[in-house]
Amino acid sequence: MVERFTGPLSGLAQKIIRQFWPGPLTLIFKIKEGSLPEAVTGGLKTAAFRMPANQVTRDLIAAVGNPLVGPSANSSGKPSPTTAQHVFHDLEGRIAGIVDDGPTQLGVESTILDLSVETPTVLRPGGVSVEELEAFLGQEIISDKHKVGQKETPKAPGMKYKHYAPSAQVLMVKTGDWPEALAWAQTRSKAVAILADQNIITIPGLQVYDLGSDVVAASHALFAGLRHFDQDPKIKYILAQTYSQDGLGAAYMNRLNKSAGEQYFSKTLNLD
């Protein structure tokens, strides 16, 4: 199905597909001229393709006989949906229906790997880590840190400077800064929420969304937590737990970083 739009795939592309599809890996290919409308490509000469691991989705694609094309099922710039309820909240009245096969398995979206360039480049970290790709291919993978401007067409979703953002300002908290951050939060308890491991952050009176005990659990819960606090208009700040950027931590921190606009908690910040 992909080759209808790209022409014959390279040996490298076929090798990657055999290993990682179906699964959380999106691949960007150059496409044949005129094979897809501009509404799909955004005017680019490339397109992103993924075979999802979800069987219901694959059955739907097979029944249609064509790729399914669409943007993320959420309001632009807001946290990604991980349940059908999240989709309904954002898109009620603007879509015909929702195929509900339960919550997403991973939480964070797929890794996006650009194979339209000479050296394979990860444009967005996700469920397949850079380390996994490098180990499988036996070569270095570039991890692109580029952010697109407001008027620039992104080659992949989630590349804009601020993305996945709730209405409240997210502040990332480094491990050593939690005592000071929590002391500040206690002085503004109704306006500040905590997105962290509840076993660590145990202060009465603060609103806490439990991210779980490790980065795997946190990656699954991150968007649901951001959306949870987005329903309370009194919350002005969300203090969020950070993780090292190894393995799945790269995907977690990529999403958290963009939801916060790269803003960390600091006593020097001018916080009202």
pLDDT digits (tens, 9 = 90+) for 37-54: 998 998 999 999 999 999
Strands (DSSP E) contained in 42-141 are: 46-49, 111-114, 121-124
Cβ contacts of residue 18 below 8 Å, gap of 6+?
none
pLDDT at 222: 95
Task: Report the predicted TM-score, pTM, of the whole model to 2 decimal places.
Answer: 0.82
Q: Examine the pLDDT at 161 and tell me if it is beyond 50.
A: no
**Are 79 and 165 within 8 A, CB to CB?**
yes
Q: Examine the pLDDT at 202 and tell me if it is beyond 80.
A: no
Q: Examine the pLDDT at 61 and tell me if it is beyond 90.
A: yes
Question: What phi and psi, each to the nearest 5 degrees, are found at residue 189?
Answer: -55, -35
User: Residues annotated in the binding site, as ranges?
Assistant: 46, 50, 72, 80, 110, 124, 164
Q: Are residues 135 and 235 in the same domain?
A: no
Q: Examine the pLDDT at 103 and tell me if it is beyond 70.
A: yes
Q: Are residues 26 and 136 in the same domain?
A: yes
Q: Are residues 121 and 8 in the same domain?
A: yes
Q: Are residues 19 and 136 in the same domain?
A: yes
Residue 205: left (phi > 0), alpha (psi -120 to 50), or beta? left
Q: Are residues 15 and 128 in the same domain?
A: yes
- Residue 80, strand partner residues: none
Rounded to the nearest integer, the mean pLDDT of the chain is 89
Which structure tokens are listed for 41?
A: 């490509």
Confidence band of 163 (pLDDT split at 50, 70, 90): low
DSSP state of 157: T
User: Residues annotated in the binding site for L-threonine, as ranges?
Assistant: 50, 110
- Of the chain, the percentage scoring pLDDT greater than 90 comes to 71
Q: Please name the helix (run of DSSP H) or strand (run of DSSP E) that holds residue 18, with its range, or none.
A: helix 11-20
Domain coverage including residue 213: 169-259
User: Residues annotated in the binding site for ATP, as ranges?
Assistant: 46, 72, 80, 124, 164
Q: Are residues 7 and 128 in the same domain?
A: yes
pLDDT at 146: 52
CATH code (residue 208): 3.40.50.11030
Q: Are residues 59 and 190 in the same domain?
A: no
Q: Are residues 28 and 135 in the same domain?
A: yes
pLDDT digits (tens, 9 = 90+) for 110-159: 999 999 999 999 999 999 999 999 999 999 899 865 555 555 555 555 55
CA gap 220, 201 in Å, rounded: 19
Residue 65: left (phi > 0), alpha (psi -120 to 50), or beta? left
Q: How far is CA 42 from CA 104, 153, 158, 189, in A?
A: 27, 7, 15, 44
**Are 131 and 247 within 8 A, CB to CB?**
yes
CATH code (residue 42): 3.90.870.10
Provide the number of structural domains found in the chain. Answer: 2
Neighbours of 14 (CB within 10 A): 11
pLDDT at 239: 96
Strands (DSSP E) contained in the chain are: 25-30, 46-49, 111-114, 121-124, 142-143, 169-173, 192-196, 207-210, 237-241
**Angle in degrees, CA 10, 39, 81, rounded to 5:** 85
Of the two residues 146 and 7, the one the predictor is more confident about is 7
